[in-house]
Amino acid sequence: MSPQKMVDIYILGKRYSVPDSLTIMDSMEYAGYKLIRGCGCRSGFCGACATIYRIKGQKELHFHLACQKQVEEGMYITQIPFFPGDKKLYDINKLEPNADSMAQLYPEIYSCIGCNSCTKGCSQDLNVMQYIAYAQRGDLEKCAHESFDCVMCGICASRCPANITHYQVGILARRLTGKYIAAETEYLIDRVIEIGDGKHDHSLEELMGKTLSQLQELYNSRDIEK
């Protein structure tokens, strides 16, 4: 077996030599850091590990999730706390699924200058500027679908000169779409009642006892309602 290739990275200014196969998160633990915050799911679903880095000799800053990005030679790494985006409080039962609701809660979306920094920074490769454009026009269903894979890491908002909290706009569009626009899934209400009554407790316990690979197989082979 060939020896593991090592690369030099810098964590908060201090140099460490780590295997090049590791992610940023794994490399921090390899270097001796104990991660108790900003580590979340470790699979790219929670968005808690937003990280800034640059490569030695380059000026450009890069943004990524630490659990997804593999280390590179000369990488300077700084983790950032969750971006304190502007989260509005609202009663969804009192909102209408239109542009007026967006304008009332997030008027800053109309200050977008089209720089596309939000899209360039997205760890999920979403077209963030496009779904903001849909929100501006009140096309909430398109906004919901375009933003569907958002993990709310906040990188888009941290780069926005107009102070738009894109991920909050996206989740509002998805909530409004789910409540008012999307067709109701057949049997959904009945199934929710059944779950509340404990009818499916045994099935849930069986799922909890399965391995990750067994769950993946179940998910990939599931019947999808048309």
* Residue 72: predicted pLDDT: 95
Strand duo 75-79 + 6-11: pairing: parallel
Running DSSP on this structure, what letter comes out for residue 213? H
- pLDDT band (50, 70, 90) for residue 201: very high
Secondary structure (DSSP) of 87-99: -----GGG--SSH
- Overall pTM surpassing 0.85 (yes/no): no
* Residue 81: predicted pLDDT: 64
Whether 65 shows a pLDDT value over 70: the answer reads yes
CATH topology for the 6-79 domain: Ubiquitin-like (UB roll) (3.10.20)
Residue-range domain boundaries for the chain? 6-79, 92-181, 188-220
For 52, the 3-state DSSP assignment is strand
Whether 129 shows a pLDDT value over 90: the answer reads yes
- pLDDT band (50, 70, 90) for residue 82: low
State percent of the chain over pLDDT 70: 96
CATH topology for the 92-181 domain: Fumarate Reductase Iron-sulfur Protein; Chain B, domain 2 (1.10.1060)
Residue 167, amino acid: Y
H/E run at residue 26? helix 24-30
**Better pLDDT: 185 or 125:** 125
Q: Are 62 and 52 in contact (CB under 8 A)?
A: yes
CA distance between the termini of the chain:
49
Residues 136-161 have a mean pLDDT of 92
Whether 2 shows a pLDDT value over 70: the answer reads no
